[in-house]
Structures are given as structure tokens and as C-alpha cells.
Structure 1
Amino acid sequence: MTVCAPAELDRLYDYSGAGAHVVPLPRRNDPATVGVLRNACIGADVVHAHGLHASVRAALAVSGGVGLARTPLVTTWHGRPPADGARAGIVRLLERRTVRAAAVVLGTSSELVDRARRRGARDARLAPVTVPTAGGPVCLRDGKARAELGAVDRPLLMAVGALEPGRGYGTLLDAAREWRELDPQPLLVIAGEGRERAALQRRIVAEGLAVRIVGRRDDVAELLAAADIAVLPSRWEARSLLAQEALRLGVPLVATAVGGVPELVGDAAELVPYGDPAALAAAVRGLLEDAERRMDLAAAGRVQARTWPSEDDTIAHVLSVYDELAATR
């Protein structure tokens, strides 16, 4: 197998260590990327691109390469939030270009599959991707983690994700204002980095909110397991990593009813509209005041998690698509 990716991703995910031949790619906006991909794809039985930008470049490489015209292209849509304004039209054009070039489009949620079909996909299929399970046991409500975060004698709320527009952190801080009346006042911890961090931090200080931003962490599972409630306020998600980890760990989840979230969590989470701080605050407050409901959600989350495909299931499904396409060449 050959993996085409920026060199820093090989260092992060160790494709080489897994036995792949790695072809380093230039930066995403470098026009040389298509040429590098075209050369790497020569002789391939199947080309598989992940995400919209990679799919656009892979489609150009396959369609313009000598001897590549019949090489099937698979593209996976892991998730892309709806675009606004003029950008929405550009995104639609790129999506149409990629799905029409692809032999198969794999969507990680039913909503993405439907969108690919609306864009003109010949063959769009559901291919949910599951987060690998943690390597070892995780201690729920770990006292050490709670002490480190400053939540020994107060409820701990946990949010995880990039501090970027569309992730709903402004709404989350609006909700945190309403939790100030609670006794004890819960502590909201946000693990993540991004361009909105400085603005969020200024607001936390100016409004005196019980919120801590702890940056990017490599112990997210341990922090999440220590929480009383996980919170996902995003504008859009396909198969949220936070939602999957929370349900597996039995941590009650309050999430926005957007994208693939309802399909992913079923009845095992409290769902609220996006951008509604009052609904978000009320859902969290209700859970904090109802220990029995929290226990019910914890149990339901573990049951729901067992309905998701395993890592082996995910791999087997993708390999079956490769075999199918290679056999038709």
C-alpha cells in the first residue's frame, strides 16, 4: 500500500511503521501536489482519497494521468459542515466534481451519503468509522484528574475539540453564565486549541466564568472519564469523536441535534438545538439535578456503543470495496 500525505502526518500517524510506502506531498495549495499524486497512482488498482480537498486533487490526478483513466477512485466523506455565502457555491461545485469522478463515495453518516447522492454520486454508501478503543482501562470519576482540574467538590463538565468557528463554544460560554447560579457551581473544562482561544479566554476572564481552557491534551480519555457530563455544542458533526468516547465510557452526554449526531447516539444522550444557550444550560442543569437520569444515560451509552462497527469491521468493509472495484477493471 502507498500512502500519499504530508510528511508531518507520517510522523504523527506512523504510516511507515505500519508497513506503508509513504510519498510525501507538498503543502495543500501547492500546484505540484497533483503531479506528485499522478506519479504515485501509476499502477494502482484503486485510489482512495479522504476528505474534499484530497478528493479534488486525486480526481485531477487520476483523470489526467496516462494509463490512469480506468483506475477506480474511492472517496470518503468524513464530515464537512455546511458552508455559507459565496463559499457554499464553491464547495458544491467541488463536491459535484469529486463524486462524479468517484466510482464509490463512502459517507461516515447517512446525511453525508444523502448529500453525495444529491451531488450526483453514482454509488454512495454508508461507511461509519469507529474510534479505536482505548489501549487500557480508564478510571471513571478519577479523583486525581478532578483535583488537577480543580473540580474536587463541584460538578465537572467536559468539552473537547478544536477552538474554531462553528464548534459552538460561544453558545457554551453563554450557557456557562446561567450555571453561575448553581450551588456548587460546575466547572467547565475545554480541551483543544485553535484560533478562537484568545477571544474565548478574554471572555472567560471578563465575565468571570467558571471555565478552564486546558489546550491540546494527550490524556483526553482520562479527563473525559473524570467528568460528570460531556458537552458537544457544535454546529455540525458527522461521527463525533467526543460523542463516541463519552458513550463508551458511560459519561452522560449533552449534544446538539445536528448532522450525524442523532443517528450516532440514538436515545443515549440529551439532544438540544444548535445555538440555543438556554436549552443547553437547561439540559445540563437537569442532568446535574437528576442522578438517576445520569445513570440511565451512562448505561444507555454503553449499550449504544456496542451497536457501532468495530475497528475490524471498518477495515473489512473498506477492503471489500477495494476487492469489488479491482475485480471490475
Structure 2
Amino acid sequence: MPNNAATAAARLSCAPMMDWTDRHCRVLHRQLSREVLLYTEMVTSAALVRGGAVHLLAFSPQEHPVALQLGGSDPRELAAAARLGQEAGYAEINLNVGCPSDRVQSGSFGAVLMQEPALVADCVAAMRASVDVPVTVKCRIGVDDQVPQDVLPDFLARIVAVGCERVTIHARMAWLQGLSPKQNREVPPLDYPLVMKMKEYFPNLHISLNGGVTTLKEAAGFLEMGLDGVMIGRAAYHTPADILCDADRVIFGKDQGTTAEEAARAMLPYIEAHVSAGGKLAQVTRHMLGLFTGRPGARAWRRLLSEGAHRPGAGPDLVEQALAQIVPQARHAS
């Protein structure tokens, strides 16, 4: 995978989300869009380097371009984990400086690192020295009582100084105490103008915006305003067809698009291989439940998969039965 593949794809990306963006989810998203950049769930450097859990790096070649997100705060350990990621074939290594969960805080990484920009810079420098693929950062605008207008420019300046060329900014503060991870995605107000200001301050830094973007039209609007990329999380997961079916045309200018039906059928060989290897149908189809949201027949689709995918012997035939419940529609143009 060429080094610039992830950077070109970062014009639109699907956010790394714990328990959601596993390899099965990413294969589905790749059926919907050939171009968008996909991210793994966060993998801790300790699990890879100290725990030897290299199975966490497994993915399918068809997922490309796909990036590995790492969590950690030890520069040497992150460098070793980044090497493992590059050897596994990932097109980018991303450092998580945005997750506010208690578990992440207890490990001294994630959003708490917004309070230690010098350490983050050391981590990025060590990772960059160990791999040839891009090393990127996903961060918040600040945490707790920090003043984002002051801390964010300093944070970015430090990672730019050690060679970071691409960053994704979640445009919310994170509260490390008193708010759940869910509340941290919803309660602190979004500050899109501050992210736009960072693009003025750092014109050569590739800046993607994350947080609150729920439609392809919104994403295109931010790109037109001068940002380099947009990262979409929950909307891309819950209503993937709405975000991804036309992404290649609308965002990347390609003469291609797909439909939810085409994507579902394209998953059938993957599902067959997964089930034949001893996997469970539900491990794949749990990511497909929102594929037809808003379409006639969507409720029956969800019901058949939800009720049947856990049963012994369930396989591609059940997906075919569920597809038969969907009322066909003409391919729409954007």
C-alpha cells in the first residue's frame, strides 16, 4: 500500500470506535465505498508489545486503505507497536489522544495526554522513526479546565515540529471526570470555528474534523470551507448506506457509487468464508442491521437478522432471506 494512500483517502474517514469498527464492520464499509479511509478499533501498545496479542492486528486485504489506531503513552513501546502495525500491512498508524474513558485514563493515554503535549510529541517522534507509513494523531480541542484557544495551537505546534503531517481534531472538549464516554460525545459543545482557525495557523498540516457530522452534505461543506478531511463516526455506523454509498462520487469525484443491496450481496462470499471457518453469522451481521434504515422492509431485515443470526447453522441463506424483505428502489444520483 503506497505511503500516500491513507492521506488521499483521509478526505473522508470512518472513525475508530471501540466494539464497533472491527474487521467485519470494515469489510462492510469497504463494500459501500472503495475510497474512504477506515480505522481499526483502538489497540493498546501494551497488548501488542507486552501481551503479544498480535492477533488483534489481523485484517482482510480488501479493507485497504485501513489505518491502525494505537493507544499508549510510552514512546519506545508505541514505536515497537507501530512497527508491528506496519509489518501487518496497515497504511497508517494513528495515536489516540482523544478517548476519555476511565479505562483509558487509568492507562495514562487517550484524552488525558492533551495535558502532556511534550510527551505526545516524544511518542510521535519515536513512532515516526520506527515506520515508513504516516503517523497521525487524533485529539480533542482540550480537556477539563484547559482553554482550547491556548492549548490546541501549542499541542499542534509540538507534534508538527516532530514531523506529524496529519491530525484529526474532535471538535469538543473532553471532561475526564464526571461525564461518561457517551456524554463526552454529546455534552461539551462543538467548536467548529476553532478547528477552522487551526487550518489558518497550520496551512501545511492536513486537518480532518471529527464530531457531530451526520450527513455527506455536511462533510462536503467542511471540505469546501477549506478543511482537508472529515471523519464521521456514529452516523457512518448506524446508517452506513446514507454516508458511504455516494461518498466516492460526492467526496472523491469518482465515477462510481453503490447501493445497500449491492453491498449486502457483496458480503455473502465473506460471510460464507467466515462461517465455514467456524465464525458466527451474528459477528458479521450485527454491523449490517442499519444498512437499510429508512427503507421499506428495513424492519423485517433487522428482525430476521437479529433473531436468526445467532442460531446454529445460520449463514448466507439467512441474509438472502432478509434481503428479500427489502423493497427495491432505483439507484439515486447525487
TM-score normalised to the size of structure 1? 0.29
TM-score normalised to the size of structure 2? 0.29
Which protein is bigger by CA-based radius of gyration? 1
Q: Which has the higher contact order (CA 8 A, sep 6+)?
A: 2
